[in-house]
């Protein structure tokens, strides 16, 4: 994204940021599509062509607030994927920071509150610990993380999808 790879960060102080995403995926296993993901939501999809072993995505647009962006590929089950029921790969994000505003999404924070609750339930049902105090330490640590996400659910939110297509092209 604008020359930054996964894990990169771009900052700007005013107006909108013009963004150019170039993504390519290659695989021995056929892929169905590549998606551009912004703050957890797919905003653009490109279907794989030909033998489905390579897929390209190129998008230009503007962003108006702090967010993260990544790409992921999806595909059907394949005999070379023995541990999964489908092909799936996801990059680390590129982070965009507008005026030092943190990236916040209530929807995403609530998702993690719910997922951590499921993990706690799993610890209670299937966790094997030598002492009950060890189990309590694990649950307390999960609750600590869960409370951070609960604060995000209640706190301010950056614009959910700060992406505007059709305003910029190279």
Task: Measure the CA–CA gap between 161 and 63, rounded to whole angstroms.
Answer: 9
Supply the pLDDT for residue 12: 96
Is the distance from CB of 46 to CB of 55 less than 8 angstroms? yes
What is the spatial distance between Cα 137 and Cα 123, in angstroms, rounded to a whole number?
A: 11
In terms of C-beta distances under 8 Å and separation of at least 24 residues, what long-range contacts does 103-108 make, across chains too? 103/39, 103/66, 103/67, 103/68, 103/158, 104/152, 104/155, 104/156, 104/157, 104/158, 105/39, 105/40, 105/152, 105/157, 105/158, 105/160, 106/152, 106/153, 106/157, 107/40, 107/160, 108/39, 108/40
pLDDT score at 160 = 58
Question: What is the pLDDT at residue 4?
Answer: 93
Q: Is pLDDT above 70 for 94?
A: yes
Q: Which two tokens stand for residue 108?
A: 């995403």
Round to whole Å and give the CA distance between 123 and 140: 11
The per-residue pLDDT for 48 is 93
pLDDT at 30: 92
- What are the structure tokens assigned to 141, written together? 């640590």
Least confident span in 35-39, 79-83, 122-126, 130-134: 79-83
What pLDDT was estimated at residue 161? 62
What pLDDT score does 157 carry? 63
Per-residue tokens: 155: 């706190």
Lowest mean pLDDT among 9-18, 30-39, 95-104, 150-159: 150-159
pLDDT at site 107 = 79
Average pLDDT of the residues of the chain: 88
- Rounded Cα distance between 32 and 76, Å, is 7
Averaged pLDDT, 111-124: 93
Percent of the chain predicted with pLDDT > 70: 91
Query: What values do phi and psi take at 152, rounded to 5?
Result: -65, -35
In the predicted structure, residue 128 carries a pLDDT above the cut 70 = yes
| Joined tokens for residue 66 | 């702090």
Which structure tokens are listed for 33? 């599509």
């Amino acid at each position: 994204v604008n020359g930054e790879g996964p894990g990169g960060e771009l900052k700007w102080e005013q107006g909108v940021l013009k963004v150019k995403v170039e993504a390519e995926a290659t695989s021995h296993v056929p892929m169905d599509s590549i998606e551009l993901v912004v703050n957890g939501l797919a905003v653009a999809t490109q279907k794989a062509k030909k033998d489905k072993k390579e897929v390209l995505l190129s998008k230009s647009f503007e962003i108006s607030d702090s967010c993260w962006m990544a790409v992921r590929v999806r595909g059907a089950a394949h005999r070379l994927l023995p541990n999964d029921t489908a092909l799936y790969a996801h990059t680390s994000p590129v982070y965009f920071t507008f005026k030092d505003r943190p990236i916040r999404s209530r929807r995403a924070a609530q998702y993690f509150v719910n997922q951590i609750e499921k993990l706690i339930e799993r610890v209670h049902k299937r966790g094997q610990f030598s002492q009950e105090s060890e189990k309590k330490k694990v649950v307390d640590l999960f609750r600590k993380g869960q409370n951070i996400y609960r604060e995000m659910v209640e706190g301010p939110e950056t614009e959910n999808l700060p992406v505007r297509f059709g305003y910029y092209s190279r």
